[in-house]
Amino acid sequence: MTDRVLIKDLPALADGPVSVSGWVETVRDQKKVQFVVLRDESGAVQLVNPRNSDDQGVVIADQPATTISALTQGSFVSVTGRLKHDERVKLGGIEVKLETLTVASTAIAETPIAVDSGIDKRMDWRFLDLRVPRNALIFRIQTTLEHAFRTYWIDNDYIEIHTPKLMGSPSESNAELFKLDYFDTTAYLAQSPQFFKQMAQAAGFGKVFDIGPVFRADPSFTSRHATEFTGVDTEISWIDSHEDVMHMQEELLAAGIAAVKEKHGEQIKALFDIDVVVPTVPFPRIPLLEAKRIVAERGHIVDRNDDDMDPEGERQIAAYVEETYGHEFVFLTDYPTSIRPFYHMRSDEDPTITKSYDLIFRGTEITTGAQREHRVDVLEAQAIEKGLDPEELAYYFDFFRYGMPPHGGFGMGLARVLMLLLHQGNLREVTYLFRGPTRLTP
C-alpha cells in the first residue's frame, strides 16, 4: 500500500501513484466525469474520476462512481490514484485520477453552520468551524509563536516550570476567584502563577517561564476577556529595575513575531490580507500621566477618578504612537500604587508610583509587568495596606524569609497577542475552545 502523502507535498512529487486522505469539501457529479475537492490539514487537491460507459455511451454504475455520487460534504475518505501535473487545473496545478476511494466516516448531509453564521453559532460547532483554512491557520501561528518564545528563553538559559492551578488560598485577592470543593476543604483555581514564579527566584532558579492556563471569575462579556485563557509568564532575578523586564519582553515579542512572519507571512497575507510587522526594538515608553495628557490633547479625557488608562485611552495612545513613531507597541510606565498589587515595588523617589508597566499592542493592553518587592517587611506592610490578611499569605511570605534576590517579571495573554497580531475583533476567534461566563461547551 502506498504511504499517505500530505496534500501540500504533492506538487513536489513526480507524476505517479499516490495515496491521500482527508475530508470532502465539494463534489461535482457530472455525467461523464466526477470531481471531488479533498482537503486535509495541509491543503486541498482535486480528485478526478472519469465515468465508465458501455458501447452505446450509457454510464455504468460502478465503483468508485457510485460511492462518489453518495458522498456528503465533510465525510472523511482515503483515496489512491495517479498524480498528474496539469497547469490548467486551477487548484494548485495538480490533480489525482482516482483508482480507489474508501469512506472512513460519512458526514450528515445538512451542516449546522454556514460561512455567514454568527460567532456564537460557530462556537457551538467549533470543530466544523476549524476546518476552514483561515481558522486552522491561527493555531499553526500560535504553535510557531509559542515555539519561538520557548526558543528565546531556552537559548537564554531560562528554566521552564509548570505551576499548580489548584491553590489553597487566593493568589492575589478574593476577587475574580473560582472556588471548588477539595476533599474536606476549599481550593481555588489559580488567577496567576505569580507567587510560584517568585518562589522559583527564592529557589535560586534565576530565570523562569511558564505557559499554562489561568482562571478569572470575571463576569465580563467584552471581546477581549475570558474566564480561562493561556498565560505566558516569566520572572527573572538580579534586575536593577522594571526596565530590565521590559527589555526582555520586547526582545521576546520581536523574536516571536519574526518567526511567525518567516513561516506564515505569505499565508497570513493570502487569508487575512495582513502584512505581519516585526517590531523594532526598543519599543516606545511613555509614563502614564504623560500618556493621559497626550490622550486629552487628542480629545479624550480619562475620568480623573480613574488611576488607570481606560480602553479608549489605550486606543488613542496607540494611535499617537503609530503616528509619531510608526510602532504598534508602547510601554506605559509609572502606574500608581492604588491600582497595582501589593507585591509591586514602589519608587524610591515617589512611593505613590510603582516600578511597573503595561504593554499596549495595537490599542489593547496585553501585559502587566513590574519589579517585585523582595524585602519581606515591606511586602507584608504593603499587603496589609491593601486589606489582605497576612495569615492567608503566610506561605507566600515564607519565600522571602530565607533570602530573595531583586526580581521582576510579567504576565501576558497569548490569545490577546494572536487576536491583535491577526487584526481580529474578538478573542473567541483565536481561542481553540473559548470559556466565558455563559460558555462551558463544547
Binding residues for L-aspartate: 172, 216, 368, 372
Place of cell 490539514: 41
Contact 79/96 with Cβ under 8 angstroms?
A: yes
Secondary structure, 3-state, 340-365: CCCCECECCCCCCEECEEEEEECCEE
**Could you tell me which residues are annotated as the binding site?**
172, 216, 365, 368, 372, 413-416
Cell numbers given for 128: 466544523
User: Which segments within 30-158 are labelled E, that is strand?
Assistant: 33-40, 43-50, 76-85, 94-105
**Residue whose entry in the numeric block shows the C-alpha cell 489582605:** 388
**Residue 47 phi, psi dihedral angles, 5° rounding:** -100, 140
| Alpha-carbon gap, residue 356 to 44, rounded angstroms | 48
Interatomic CA distance for residues 217 and 221, integer angstroms: 12
Provide the grid cell at 271. Answer: 487569508
69, amino acid identity: S
Residues belonging to the binding site for ATP are: 365, 413-416
How do beta strands 329-333 and 285-287 pair?
parallel
Residue 107, CB-side half-sphere exposure with 13 Å CA sphere: 17
Q: Please give the Cα distance from 228 to 104 (Å, whole number).
A: 35
Q: Which residues pair with 228 in a beta bridge?
A: 215
Other C-beta atoms lying within 10 Å of the C-beta of residue 131 = 15
Task: 350-358: list long-range contacts, CB under 8 Å, 24+ apart.
Answer: 355/241, 355/242, 355/408, 356/242, 357/242, 357/245, 357/246, 357/285, 357/331, 357/332, 357/333, 358/309, 358/331, 358/332
